[in-house]
Structures are given as C-alpha cells and as structure tokens.
Amino acid sequence: MSKKSSADLRAQLAESIQAQPVSSVAAAVAELREAGLHEDADRLDVVLAEREKQLAEARAAKEAEEAAAKAKAAAAARAEYDACVARYTEKLEKAFEHLASYADEARPAMAEYQNAAAYFTKLAGIVGANDPDLPELPPTPGVYGKSGPMAERLRGLSL
C-alpha cells in the first residue's frame, strides 16, 4: 500500500467535504481557518458558494413549481366553483319564477279563503255555531302547505 501525500489527503478531504450538506461545508471551512489552512479554506469557500447558489436555485425552482401547481389547482377549483354557482343561480332564478307564479295564484286564493271565512261566520250566525250541519272551514294556506297533498314535496323548504 502506497503512502498518500499531504496534497492527496487534502484533495480527498476536500472531495469528502464537498459531498456534505452546506452547513457541514461551512463548518469545515471554519475548522480549516482555525487550523491555519487558509488556502484550503479559500478553495472550499468557492465550493461552498457554488453549493449555496445551487441550493438557492433548487429552492427557487421548487417554489416556482409549487406556485404553478397551486395556481393550477386554484384555477380548477375556481372553475368548479363558478360552474356550481352558475347552476345554482339558474335553478334559483327558475325556482323564484315559479314562486312568483305561485304568489300570483295564491293571492286570489287567499282572498277566497277570507271570503269563505266571512261566509262561514255569516252562516254560523244564521244556523248557530253548534248546528251539526255547519260545515268546517277549509284549511288555512299554512295548514294546507303542511298537511295537504303537496306537503311531502314542500317538506324541508325554507326561504
């Protein structure tokens, strides 16, 4: 086995140190300076600067990649949201069109209910409130909505 020269050992040490993380290389530079090996420390400083530059570039590339992925995900989520809002708005407008149509039909029905109540009161006054032939009042719109034929379709609706 041949003996290695001091220069060979230093080169081997420098190569080994270069493979270490940046923080370890920085510590090695400091140790070399403390040992008085300024020339070796200067060479290793150049390597350290290059490694820090590469690390900064890698971090910047990773951040750019993550930002692009985030922007792409945000654009896809926004498109889904916008499509959902468009469907919702369309259905809501259609529902309110039907509701307005209902209101147009319900107003005269409410007036007729009021008329029926007035006629019922008049009839009860003539035949007496306890007359067995006295009919029942029709259900109010609220009762009809809760227990009438459309009750199941209207269940859970709150405006």
Report helix, strand or coil for 88. Answer: helix
Give the range among 16-30, 43-57, 115-129 with minimum mean pLDDT. 16-30
pLDDT at 17: 60
Q: Rounded CA gap, 36 and 134, in Å?
A: 118
Quote the mean pLDDT of the chain. Answer: 84
Give the range among 38-47, 78-87, 103-112, 142-151 with minimum mean pLDDT. 38-47
- Which residue spans within 9-106 are E strands per DSSP? none
pLDDT in tens, 85-120: 999 999 999 999 998 998 898 899 889 999 999 999
Q: Which residue has the tokens 């060979």?
A: 8
DSSP-assigned states of every residue in 53-102 = HHHHHHHHHHHHHHHHHHHHHHHHHHHHHHHHHHHHHHHHHHHHHHHHHH
- Sorting pLDDT into bands at 50, 70 and 90, what band is 134? very high
Q: Give me the residue spans of the domains in the chain.
A: 10-154
- Sorting pLDDT into bands at 50, 70 and 90, what band is 158? low
Tokens of 75: 């654009």
More confident residue, 11 or 95: 95
**pTM exceeds 0.85 for this model:** no
